[in-house]
Copies of this chain bind each other. A is one copy, B any other.
Amino acid sequence: MTASLLDNHPLPVAARERSPLARDYARVRGHSLALAGPLSAEDQCVQSMPDASPTKWHLAHTSWFFEAFVLQPHAPGYRAFDPRFGHLFNSYYEALGPRHERPRRGLLTRPSQTEVLAYRRHVDDAMHTLMAAGAMESQPALQTLVVLGLQHEQQHQELLLTDILHAFWCNPLLPAYEAVEPPMLRLAQPREPIRWLAHAGGIEHVGHDGEGFAFDNETPRHAVLLQPFEIADRLVTCGEYAAFIADGGYRRASLWLSDGWALVQQQGWQAPAYWLQGDDPRLGPGRDAAMWHVFGLGGAHPMDPLTPVTQLSLYEAAAYAEWAGARLPTEFEWEAASRAHGTRLRQQTGHAWQWTRSSYDPYPGFRALPGAVGEYNGKFMVGQVVLRGGSLATPEGHARPTYRNFFPPAARWQFSGLRLARDSTSC
């Protein structure tokens, strides 16, 4: 297990004697509450589309995960906080019974946010009791479940942010989640060219190697054969993407995958999901009408041409790459480049998930985990596309080079951008 999942929350004094796992537990769980901090009870209840969930639901569901997979099967005498919560807060585990319909999560004004916090405390108390009793040391499989629960919660921490951002985007008042946008590494200079990092191809081993935590979809580690390729040392910026728009990128069918072009026309896409023209009435008066604005966690602000572009669908990422005379990397090229080039492959994480040109298929020899937890990843392995890296909303320490994030190609509400690749010209 990784030594520490999150280091950005101070420990309460009383927790000094806790085991490393219990400290990780406390940190991760506390971080979820911290993320919900700027949000009112009303904000925490809203669901702005079927794919997004309310903050409160995230807080409850991640607690239910520990209750359903750890406490109820493994904690002697544990009593569920409310037996009806399994129905409300199960996400998609068929093996654990029927569920409240996903698109109707926003209707759950009850239980209240206060009750959900009590639910979290109830689960946390039982978890700490279980961990303090030494159950983990004697049962490695149980410890693995707890770590899975924490990694699961970290995934929901990112979703909590992307989902509330979508909800705020649907509000004509364009509320800001926080006063200041999280900083993104900007390019040092406006016209800094891409540096292409070369890889000679050949046999590479990809997937998780067994040390530290990984999701089942990263296994088994296996060999793949790559062609020589080059990959950009940095992400595509908002400024570069604006040039694509200005050059008619959203009006030229020849740049687009067929399903993407259909969406461009049906939905009237003209820019990434949260971009606004400067004369949009939601921005209020006094803006430069000719300037793109971008809505983010810190509210709407003028587009910064030097930061990575986000809120792209796979279709937009691929169309941009086509326009730029390049292509998207495969997920294995990305992973091989990460190992080969280390920090020279800049902006690997902390900015934007990076669409790859790899559909989300199972690795050779893939086996889902046994039991209900086996539904975690495997059953989604069709119709989705892999993203690699990590975003500004990904909790620190959560991502790794073998990590396989995945979304349908039309998804735009994530912090999803792109890094270019191309075939090696000298081969």
Report which A residues bind B (CB closer than 8 A): 40-46, 48, 84, 87-88, 92, 94-95, 100, 104, 106-113, 167-168, 170-173, 175, 203, 222-227, 253-254, 256-261, 281, 314-315, 318, 330, 357-362, 364-365, 375, 379-383, 385, 409, 423
Contact = CB atoms under 8 A, between A and B. Distances in A.
Given A42-B45, A100-B172, A379 B113 contact: no
A112 to B, nearest CB: 6
B359 A359 contact: yes
A60 to B, nearest CB: 13
B43 A365 contact: no
B359 A382 contact: yes
Given A42-B112, A46-B106, 14 more contacts: A40-B112, A41-B41, A43-B109, A45-B45, A92-B258, A94-B261, A95-B253, A104-B170, A110-B171, A110-B175, A111-B173, A203-B225, A259-B380, A315-B382
Contact of A383 (B87, B107, B110, B409): B409
Contacts of A95: 253-254
Contacts of A423: 364-365
A258 B368 CA distance: 14
Contacts of A43: 109-110
B109 A42 contact: yes
A260 B111 CA distance: 32
A254 B260 CA distance: 32
A84 B379 contact: no
Contacts of A330: 361, 364
Contacts of A173: 84, 88, 108, 110-111
A65 B42 CA distance: 24
A107 B382 contact: no
Nearest to A364: B227
A375 B172 CA distance: 25
B94 A253 contact: yes
A91 to B, nearest CB: 11
Nearest to A167: B107
Given A94-B261, A95-B253, A357 B362 contact: yes
Contacts of A106: 46, 106
Contact of A257 (B84, B107, B227, B381): B381
Point out which of A40, A92, A168, A409 has the most chain B C-beta atoms below 10 A from its C-beta.
A40
A52 to B, nearest CB: 11
A259 B382 contact: yes
A224 B225 contact: yes
Interface centre among A110, A170, A315 (most CB of B within 10 A): A110
